[in-house]
């Protein structure tokens, strides 16, 4: 029998994870991705489908939180979460009629929900590191099937969604979370603050979604153009919009989509809700004038 507190907190975390998925999908405009304006480069997805898929994952996140409540990262917890995550993927495919709307998001948010259920009154850094520690336990029951991510990993040597988690979500820690907060501090609108956070991810991560559909050229140009936008500063003028349009055009040209960045934006929003409601703390580090000045492209 799960204690009442665990049930309530788990339901709360699950609601926040679903809200993060919906607000990520609804953020408009987003280059190449499904948003309120269009389906980006996805011919098989719509905003309604993304929202339906997000609601369908509610019990997955709730079960993950209940299994993790006040636990510590361990092999046994890792394997429990993995089984729930895989069944969440099956639920997603059932809800969407076989379309991959949220596979990467289930992975990132699943680990973060688990970590948030383990810790209370802790910092954002502790949550992401602890999620990484959990991800590093080897799940002995992982099916050996070929995925787009594995194919891209073999071809280009990039670590993708798995690597991001194993390392404790460095791109959320170093880029999207501080950039979301720095944007707000500058009085930038919520939507543009979130778009800045998304672009900071697009400028930095090796997105296997982009690589498997568009190859290395697509990844290079995406990163370069996202970087170009952010180098103009977090406050937007007409020049930002011109490059954003160019970036959207690039993604359409390569038929590529920054799904990994979208997943990490949802993960960033989830952590941000916890911060806003004071469930977790965050010691602000200023990222200075040029948020991506030290980028290694």
Ligand X SMILES: CC(C)(COP(=O)(O)OP(=O)(O)OC[C@H]1O[C@@H](n2cnc3c(N)ncnc32)[C@H](O)[C@@H]1O)[C@@H](O)C(=O)NCCC(=O)NCCS
Ligand Y SMILES: Nc1ncnc2c1ncn2[C@@H]1O[C@H](COP(=O)(O)OP(=O)(O)OP(=O)(O)O)[C@@H](O)[C@H]1O
Write out the residues near ligand Y by the rule CB under 6 A: 24-25, 33-34, 40, 42, 50, 100-105, 148, 209, 213, 257, 259, 262-263
- Using CB under 6 A, list all residues that contact ligand X: 81-82, 85-86, 103-104, 106-107, 110-111, 139, 147-150, 160-162, 164, 205-209, 259-260, 263-264
Residue closer to ligand X by CB (options 207, 272) is 207
Residue closer to ligand X by CB (options 110, 291) is 110
162 contact, one of ligand X, ligand Y, none, CB 5-8 Å limit per kind: ligand X
C-beta neighbour count of 288 within 10 angstroms: 9
Terminal alpha carbon distance of the chain? 50
Least separation, in Å, of the C-beta of 45 and ligand X? 12
Nearest to 23 by CA among 209, 180, 164: 180
Least separation, in Å, of the C-beta of 223 and ligand X? 11
Beta bridge partners of 281: 123
CA distance 55 to 93: 13
CA distance 225 to 289: 19
33 contact, one of ligand Y, ligand X, none, CB 5-8 Å limit per kind: ligand Y
25 contact, one of ligand Y, ligand X, none, CB 5-8 Å limit per kind: ligand Y
42 contact, one of ligand X, ligand Y, none, CB 5-8 Å limit per kind: ligand Y
Least separation, in Å, of the C-beta of 267 and ligand Y? 10
Q: In which residue are the tokens 């390392």 written?
A: 167
Least separation, in Å, of the C-beta of 54 and ligand Y? 9
Alpha carbon 38 to its chain's center: 20
Least separation, in Å, of the C-beta of 96 and ligand Y? 10
Residue closer to ligand X by CB (options 90, 242) is 90
Check: CB of residue 83 under 8 Å from CB of residue 141.
Answer: yes
Residue closer to ligand Y by CB (options 172, 209) is 209
271 contact, one of ligand Y, ligand X, none, CB 5-8 Å limit per kind: none
DSSP code at position 284: -
Residue closer to ligand Y by CB (options 42, 80) is 42
Q: Is the peptide bond before 29 cis (omega within 30 degrees of 0)?
A: yes
**Phi and psi, residue 122, nearest 5°:** -115, -175
DSSP code at position 280: E
Least separation, in Å, of the C-beta of 168 and ligand X? 12
Structure tokens at 104: 């990467």
Q: Tell me the DSSP string of 29-78.
A: --TTS--SS--TT-SS--HHHHHHHHHHTHHHHHHHHHHHTT----HHHH
CA-to-CA separations, 148 to 201, 211, 253, in angstroms, rounded: 20, 9, 20
248 contact, one of ligand Y, ligand X, none, CB 5-8 Å limit per kind: none
Least separation, in Å, of the C-beta of 182 and ligand Y? 23
206 contact, one of ligand Y, ligand X, none, CB 5-8 Å limit per kind: ligand X
Closest residue by beta carbon to ligand X:
149
């Amino acid at each position: 029998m799960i204690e009442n507190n665990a049930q309530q907190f788990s339901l709360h975390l699950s609601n926040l994870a679903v809200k993060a998925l919906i607000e990520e999908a609804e953020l408009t405009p987003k280059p190449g991705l499904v948003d309120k304006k269009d389906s980006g480069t996805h011919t098989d997805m719509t905003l309604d489908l993304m929202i339906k898929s997000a609601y369908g994952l509610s019990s997955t996140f709730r079960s993950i939180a209940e299994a993790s409540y006040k636990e510590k990262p361990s092999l046994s917890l890792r394997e429990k979460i993995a089984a729930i995550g895989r069944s969440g993927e099956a639920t997603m495919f059932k809800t969407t009629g076989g379309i991959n709307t949220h596979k990467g998001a289930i992975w990132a948010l699943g680990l973060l929900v688990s970590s948030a259920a383990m810790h209370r009154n802790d910092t954002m850094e502790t949550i992401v590191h602890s999620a990484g520690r959990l991800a590093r336990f080897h799940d002995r029951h992982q099916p050996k099937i070929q995925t787009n991510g594995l194919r891209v990993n073999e071809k280009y040597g990039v670590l993708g969604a798995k690597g991001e988690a194993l390392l404790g979500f460095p791109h959320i820690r170093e880029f999207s979370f501080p950039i979301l907060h720095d944007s707000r501090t500058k009085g930038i609108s919520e939507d543009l603050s979130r778009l800045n956070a998304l672009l900071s991810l697009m400028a930095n991560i090796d997105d296997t979604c982009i690589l498997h559909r568009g190859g290395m050229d697509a990844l290079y140009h995406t990163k370069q153009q996202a970087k170009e936008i952010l180098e103009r500063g977090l406050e937007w003028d007409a020049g930002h919009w011109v490059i954003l349009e160019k970036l959207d055009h690039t993604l359409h040209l390569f038929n590529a989509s920054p799904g990994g960045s979208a997943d990490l934006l949802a993960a960033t929003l989830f952590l941000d809700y916890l911060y806003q409601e004071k469930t977790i703390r965050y010691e602000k580090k200023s990222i200075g004038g040029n948020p991506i000045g030290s980028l290694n492209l």
